[in-house]
Amino acid sequence: MNLSSEHCNISDWLRLEATVKASVYVVTFCFATFITIIIIAIVSQNSKLRKEVRYILLCHHLLCICSYCGLGVVFQGMRALLANSPVLICWLVFGVQLSFGEGILFTLALMAVNTYLAICWPLKSLSFVDSVKYRILAGTWIIIILKNVCLFVIESTNSTPVAVLKSEPLCPVTLNGTPVRAIGMVFVLLPVSVILISYSLIYQEGKRAGHFNRSNIKARKTVLIHLLQVGLHVIPFLVFIGLGKMCGVFFFILNLVLFGVFAFAQCFNPLIYGLWNRELQSRLYYWMCCQLWCGHTINSKGPV
């Protein structure tokens, strides 16, 4: 663990940091879950949308965000409240949260690839993507889970069984060594590279077809917003991995600022990738009207 040159007690910083992060995670979880429930309700009630790969990936992506934020509340809450949980439980909660965090990026990469195939290879890709969509999702999750299990096994070789089962108030985590952080960066840069390559190919195809001319502000704005959103995900994550845990006022503020940027991105993911979609916007209006009409009808009947 890295320490700054100034004298400090890192446990005090970790508890204060955990308190702030748990509070932010609660807000992010509530907002993201609210939007996710609406989007999933709209998709599940329409047979056409349920079969489309982009909406399957979107719902999968939104569920990853909700799970990640929900487990963030649990893990940071355990730290902030000094829950004195066994180290193994802390590792399990943190490991599952880390897996969902990587699932957010990998589903973004799959969404970018699916968009590229739909735009550049519309005739050939439809049947192919439809036939392999669940196998690709399953394979992605197998890779993520196996990678994290292997990293935890490698990092825990220095710990005795007694230490793993021992209760710790601040719920320490492993995965802070240099090799592990390097592997973490690879697993961040891999989906980011896929996203950037996909969007560059989409831009080239759109420019060739005339979709990205000056008059089509909507198309250019969509690409720029998506790239900005990916940057808000990746840059804080890479800095987190690169710095590790450091102590001091500067690193504490830097950590919280980066975390705030990352949480902001999580909050607006459902809006940008979900409700920014024109089809979902139109169906949202119809869905809200149906909910209001049904509620009004039930209330007007009164008790039986």
- DSSP-derived letter for residue 86 is E
Region 182-205 average pLDDT: 86
CA angle 32, 87, 147 (to 5 degrees): 65
Beta bridge partners of 168: 85
Residue 95 CB coordination number (10 Å): 18
- Tell me what pLDDT residue 296 has: 47
- Tell me what pLDDT residue 93 has: 92
Residue 225 CB coordination number (10 Å): 14
One-letter amino acid at 269 equals N
Task: Kindly tell me if the per-residue pLDDT of 68 is higher than 90.
Answer: yes
Distance from the Cα of residue 289 to its chain's centroid: 30
For the chain, list the strands marked E by DSSP: 85-86, 167-168
DSSP string spanning 153-217?
HHHGGGS-HHHHHSEETT------SHHHHHHHHHHHHHHHHHHHHHHHHHHHHHHHHTTTSTT-H
Contacts of 255 (CB under 8 A, 6+ apart): 17, 240, 243
Residue 244 — pLDDT band, cuts 50, 70, 90?
low
Tokens 């008059």: give the residue: 215
Which of 45-59, 192-206, 217-231, 249-263 shows the lowest mean pLDDT across its residues? 217-231
What percent of the chain is modeled with pLDDT above 90?
20
Task: Kindly tell me if the per-residue pLDDT of 66 is higher than 80.
Answer: yes
Instruction: Estimate the crossing angle of helix 249-269 against helix 53-80, to 10 degrees.
Output: 150
Beta bridge partners of 167: 86
Task: Kindly tell me if the per-residue pLDDT of 277 is higher than 60.
Answer: yes
Task: Kindly tell me if the per-residue pLDDT of 271 is higher than 60.
Answer: yes
Rounded distance between C-alpha atoms, residue 293 and residue 100, angstroms? 37
- Tell me what pLDDT residue 291 has: 63
- Tell me what pLDDT residue 302 has: 47
Is 156 in contact with 242 (CB distance < 8 Å)? no
Rounded distance between C-alpha atoms, residue 263 and residue 241, angstroms? 16
Tokens 């509340």: give the residue: 73
The mean of the pLDDT values for the chain is 79
- DSSP-derived letter for residue 84 is -
Beta bridge partners of 85: 168
3-49 residue pLDDT tens: 333 445 566 677 888 899 999 999 999 999 988 888 888 888 888 88
Contacts of 105 (CB under 8 A, 6+ apart): 188, 191, 192, 233, 234
What is the token pair recorded at 9? 């007690």
Region 215-220 average pLDDT: 58
- Tell me what pLDDT residue 7 has: 46
**Candidate ranges 43-47, 107-111, 226-230; pick with highest mean pLDDT:** 107-111
Tokens 């060594």: give the residue: 177
DSSP string spanning 250-263?
HHHHHHHHHHHHHH
Which of 51-65, 208-222, 229-243 shows the lowest mean pLDDT across its residues? 208-222
Torsion of CA 76, 96, 153, 169, to 10 degrees: 20
Is 234 in contact with 241 (CB distance < 8 Å)? no
